[in-house]
Structure 1
Amino acid sequence: MIEAAMIWNEPNNKSHWDPDLDPDWSRFAHMAKLAGDAIRDVNPGLTRVLGGISPIDPNFMALMKSYGVLDHVDAVAVHGFPLDWNLWQIDEWPQKIEEIRHVTDLPLWVSEVGVSTFGAEEVQAWGLKRTVELLKGGIDRIQWYSLYDLPSAWGATTRHREAEGSSYYRHFYMGLLREDGTPKPSIDEFARHTPELGLMQWFHFEDPRLDEAVAWMKRLGVTYMRTGLAWADRFRPNALDWFDRQMEALEDFDVTVTFCFTPAHRGLAAHHTSTPIVPEEFAEFCAEMTERYATTSSTLDFVDQSPFSRGTMRSTNLPTQPRE
């Protein structure tokens, strides 16, 4: 069910990686290489993707290349939101793609692109149509962000908050569906472009929207999507039960799983953006999740062929519990 494993999310965005702790991104590069190797060791055929960068910065991609990170992944990804946060216009999408292609010949994914309805819902419908016109046919994967609006009570994963005016609040209106589950006008436009167009939807821990989201994706003709499994959530009670439920619900789709977010007690700072104290622990998490949800018969000794049967898989190289 997992077609790809993505290593982190927006590593050049301070909302997801703290540059004060790692100003030259050398710590991130080391961690990413460890994770790429760990995923490959468990499943050599699984596509490894460098976490989508935001902003689209060829200099950052060149830095990752200089550190050797691109030798440990099979594809790279970018995120773009020109109608909301980026300082470039939507028609510059082809130029932005070419800037990255000049740095690497690895397959290039747009693993998040979207338009907020903060100002007007009609803007999203137009932006979706124009985005597809600009990107379709020239990119290996296009994953629209997102299916649902972010519930107003949850809070966005960003460090900017209200300091930048409407920028923070735009996070809450990126969905094709409103918070109450009713569709926006853009949903019909989205359905015109599936299955070529995929979706990106984060699911919070024990997210009550999961089953409804699956039903909507099938109704819309979605065949591939991206989501995340948070390293920080691995330390919650019943974490594996939730991970199993999430992945089982998504088993009918080709899924890109993003591994990210440092547990507060395992970072140099007590924050999900922190570089880990021991980067090998993140690699172990990536290996554990790959082994659980994206294994082959040659890499795992199955007692029961279902990956959702409790206690049916025996790891050959990982501890039964994450390191404390």
Structure 2
Amino acid sequence: MIEAIKFWNEPNNKSHWDLELDPEWKQFSHMVRLASTACAAENPHLTRVLGGISPIDPAFIARLDGAGVLQGVHAVAVHGFPLDWNHWAIHEWPQKLAEIQAVTTLPVWVTEVGVSTFGAEEVQAWGLKRSAELLIGRAPRIHWYSLYDLPKAWPATTRHREAEGSSYYRHFHMGLLREDGTPKLAAHEFSAFTPELGICQWFHFEDHRLDDAVRWLKRLGVTRLRTGLSWADSFRPNADAWFDRQMKALEDFDLTLTFCFTPEHRGIQPHHTSAPQVPEEYAEFCARMVRRYVGGSATPVEAAPASEALLA
């Protein structure tokens, strides 16, 4: 079941949105307003979520609220990696959520939280346990990033590259499983926190790991999965066949689908982080994916843990 869709990924991070082209996020805001309207027309009951922000910045949420973006979504989302990239301590998670809750009445999801094994697997195992303690019960959705290490032959999705120092290489060690599919220490502990803890796993075009990923997710007791459908990939030959295969393989999970990545030939600049030349085209892609994989029926996600009412 597709329970939610997300518009973009980390829009306040230059690795995912070109801030030089759109320094005040006016083009981004317009694009998301168009997309949320188009998806609501296809299915008004489907939960719509603003792409997870990184860093966690209440001023950014307030900016988008002022631009009318939050009127078209049911929730906002944050990403946090205090043991690897952020400039705050892991025990500050409740405070970071409170900072966003102070500027919006919308539920705050945590759609990426994780710890790399760059230094030691024991750090990730401890970070998993502590993150779960701090987040479960405080956010309606929590997705651990990620199931697999990033293959070393693939580039990390960042524009910083080696200028980040060791931070760049941490991208390759975020999985519960190594590149070859063997489990790390944290993988043996993860099922203690499911189903409350979901997983975020991106699948590349025709990703060879898809079927093994499904087996591992079920073995770990995961019921909630966040993944993405790439607007850029939609222009590849046989793109819909790959999307169909991916959605079929993942049909047993409650999915949050992220729509992102500008096709190079449709960006103002030829890069996946660029604002599009025609923002309506992104909205059309989102609406087409909703039409193809959700249709007209959907059950709204709970606005908060436990007993609070469903989203309207």
TM-score grouping bracket, smaller chain normalisation: over 0.9
Alignment partners' CA distance in 2, 1:41 and 1:77: 22
- Number of aligned positions between the proteins: 298
1:19-76 C-alpha deviation (Å, 9 max, x unpaired): 0000100100000110111111001110000000000000000000000100010100
| Structure whose CA Rg is larger | 1
One-letter identity of the residue aligned with 1:125: A
Q: Give the equivalent residue in structure 2 for 1:233.
A: 233
Alignment partners' CA distance in 1, 2:244 and 2:172: 27
Alignment partners' CA distance in 2, 1:99 and 1:107: 12
Q: Give the equivalent residue in structure 1 for 2:264.
A: 264
Does the CA-based 8 Å contact 2:94-2:138 persist in structure 1? no
Q: Give the equivalent residue in structure 2 for 1:40.
A: 40
Which secondary structure does the structure 2 equivalent of 1:52 belong to? coil
Shift of 1:215: 0.4
Alignment partners' CA distance in 1, 2:196 and 2:100: 22
One-letter identity of the residue aligned with 1:145: Y
Which secondary structure does the structure 2 equivalent of 1:15 belong to? coil
Alignment partners' CA distance in 2, 1:138 and 1:267: 38
Which secondary structure does the structure 1 equivalent of 2:233 belong to? helix
The answer to whether residue 92 in structure 2 is matched with residue 92 in structure 1 is yes
One-letter identity of the residue aligned with 2:265: H
Shift of 1:296: 2.3
Q: Give the equivalent residue in structure 1 for 2:291.
A: 291
Shift of 1:297: 6.2
One-letter identity of the residue aligned with 1:107: P
Alignment partners' CA distance in 2, 1:222 and 1:67: 36
Q: Which runs of 5+ in 2 are unaligned?
A: 299-312
The TM-score with structure 1 as length reference comes to 0.91
One-letter identity of the residue aligned with 1:160: H
Q: Give the equivalent residue in structure 1 for 2:55.
A: 55
The answer to whether residue 80 in structure 2 is matched with residue 80 in structure 1 is yes
Which structure 1 residue ranges, 4+ long, deviate > 2 Å from structure 2? none
One-letter identity of the residue aligned with 1:98: A
Q: Give the equivalent residue in structure 1 for 2:144.
A: 144
Alignment partners' CA distance in 1, 2:187 and 2:232: 32
Give the RMSD, CA atoms, in angstroms. 0.9
The answer to whether residue 7 in structure 2 is matched with residue 27 in structure 1 is no
The answer to whether residue 66 in structure 2 is matched with residue 66 in structure 1 is yes
Shift of 1:188: 1.9
Alignment partners' CA distance in 1, 2:37 and 2:147: 32
One-letter identity of the residue aligned with 1:16: H
Which secondary structure does the structure 2 equivalent of 1:49 belong to? strand
One-letter identity of the residue aligned with 2:103: V
